[in-house]
Amino acid sequence: MSERGMDRRNFVRVGAAAAALGPGAIACRPDEGSSGAAAAGSGQTSGDAGATSPAGISVEAARAAGWGGYDEAIVVDALAGPIQFNIPQEGLPLRPEALDVVRRSGITAVNLTVNARPTEALSAYEATNEKMDAWAAEIEANPDVLALVRTVQELEAAKASGRLGIVFGFQDGVPFEDDLDRLDAFHRCGLRIVQPTYNVQNRLGSGSLVPRDGGFTEEGRAALARMEELGILLDLSHCGPRTTLDGIRASTGPASITHSGCSAVYPHPRNKDDEALRLLADGGGVVGIYLMPFLNPSGPPTAADVIAHLEHALNVCGEDHVGIGSDQGIVPLDTSGDFRSRFDAVSAQRAAAGIAAPREGTVPYVPELNHPRRLETIAALLDARGHPTRVIEKVLGGNFVRLFGEVWG
């Protein structure tokens, strides 16, 4: 354990106890072919805003009050998108209404998943090319609202111009696992964050649902070395416990866990134990807490659950190593009409593919935070808990911006 990491964690423990507790996008792809688009659907709804927060005030009151520093802060959602993706409700091109929601969200940048699973007609590599093309075209078509982000300077420019910065990320290494030269091409197209595995095994390592985690493979280590040469951030969110530890230890620089929770608060295959969190922080990395059903044992997750995981991560990792990766679309989830049948169909597909985690039968959102400025409400709740402004600013995005700068160069 590094001396620097220990100092950071001790500082936050003392503080918590005292508080009572760029520019335009260019369509680019590694190979030739046509671009694609996603499926249709639309709408939005709000959740149970009257529930009581862990600060003793209602979430409704926290949402109404907001947080005074939100509009000035750089706000990074480390796993999100302009529209819903866990349960797709609309596709590309983005509707004017969706673009307006994005404008009003106050979010500076998101890590957008642009890899794709194989289909009957396309390999994972080919499907990913099409998805990257589609999003690059969408960014180019809406330069007043969206901006491709490849550097921290471009992220800061997006903030200054009031646009949403889009960081291209992968949640699986399958599109390049058999040819690492593809990483170079993907990087030229804007790829800046890579998760080597999803929930299952691939050639790079073991996912969180693999019964016997074999750790990072030699191919995985070779991929990591190439990523570090290019300046691509390692994301270990869906990796199994051993693969997570192997990835952090094998990294020559800081790594990330962009969207997860804390096993000490609620044990779940998608959450990380304190050993992994400490090791990540000691290396300078950042963990993002998600807004998913994996935060609690039953029923919809609440704002109180989110705060509990955030505060545990702050206590374990220190204030310089915690952020938010909601795993949500900025456009709120619409649970009206035939939503339940569509949700059940997606859940069945994921189960059949062997990639569904426990608790996926619960709708993947926090009803109380089902609005575009959900991160501001989280900031207001942290403020009500006595967390200082500097910590809230770091959690909202400052920590991930620092990490991006260290890795991307």
Give the CB-side neighbour count of residue 306, counting CA atoms within 13 A.
33
Are 144 and 163 a contacting pair, CB within 8 Å? yes
Question: Has residue 193 got a pLDDT over 70?
Answer: yes
Start-to-end CA distance of the chain, whole Å, equals 25
Split at pLDDT 50, 70, 90, the class of 57 is confident
Mean per-residue pLDDT, 25-35: 38
pLDDT of residue 53: 61
The pTM (predicted TM-score) of the whole model is 0.89
Instruction: Kindly compute the dihedral angle of the four CA atoms of residues 60, 65, 71, 74, in this order, to the nearest 10 degrees.
Output: -60
List Cα–Cα distances, 155 to 94, 120, 124, 160, in angstroms: 21, 37, 29, 9
Name the phi and psi angles at 81, rounded to 5.
-160, 165
Give Cα 332 distance to the centre of its chain: 16
| pLDDT tens, position by position, 265-320 | 999 999 999 999 999 999 999 999 999 999 999 999 999 999 999 999 999 999 99
| pLDDT tens, position by position, 157-183 | 999 999 999 999 999 999 999 999 999
Are 222 and 247 a contacting pair, CB within 8 Å? no
List Cα–Cα distances, 402 to 131, 255, 330, 395, in angstroms: 28, 12, 23, 11
List Cα–Cα distances, 202 to 113, 216, 268, in angstroms: 18, 10, 21
pLDDT of residue 9: 43
Within 10 angstroms of residue 334's Cβ, the number of other Cβ atoms is: 17
Q: Which tokens hold the place of 282? A: 């000691």
131, containing H or E segment = helix 124-141
Split at pLDDT 50, 70, 90, the class of 4 is very low
Question: 323 has which bridge partners?
Answer: 288
- Say how far apart CA 147 and CA 289 lie, in whole Å: 24
Q: Supply the angle between the helices 152-161 and 399-408 in degrees, to the nearest 10.
A: 140
Are 381 and 55 a contacting pair, CB within 8 Å? yes
Question: Has residue 201 got a pLDDT over 70?
Answer: yes
Of residues 198 and 14, more confidently modeled: 198
Question: Has residue 43 got a pLDDT over 80?
Answer: no
Question: 322 has which bridge partners?
Answer: 287
Burial profile 34-60: b = 16 or more Cβ within 10 angstroms, e = fewer: ebbebeebebbeebebeeebbbeebbb
Q: Quote the percentage of the chain above a pLDDT of 90.
A: 86
- Say how far apart CA 69 and CA 126 lie, in whole Å: 43
- Domain 3-33+49-408, what fold? TIM Barrel (3.20.20)
Would you list the DSSP string of 286-350? EEEE--SGGGSSSSS--HHHHHHHHHHHHHHH-TTSEEE---EESSPP--STTHHHHHHHHHHHH
Least-confidence region, from 56-70, 126-140, 167-181, 223-237: 56-70
Mean per-residue pLDDT, 221-248: 98
| pLDDT tens, position by position, 76-101 | 999 999 999 999 899 999 999 999 99
Mean per-residue pLDDT, 186-194: 98
Is the Cα torsion angle 125, 127, 129, 131 positive or negative in sign?
Answer: negative
Give the CB-side neighbour count of residue 64, counting CA atoms within 13 A.
7
228, containing H or E segment = helix 218-230
- Say how far apart CA 98 and CA 114 lie, in whole Å: 19
Q: Which residues contact 276 (CB under 8 A, 6 or more apart)?
A: 236, 241, 244, 245, 248, 257
Question: Has residue 200 got a pLDDT over 80?
Answer: yes
Split at pLDDT 50, 70, 90, the class of 24 is very low
Work out the widest C-alpha separation in the chain, in whole angstroms. 58
Q: Where are the domains of the chain?
A: 3-33+49-408
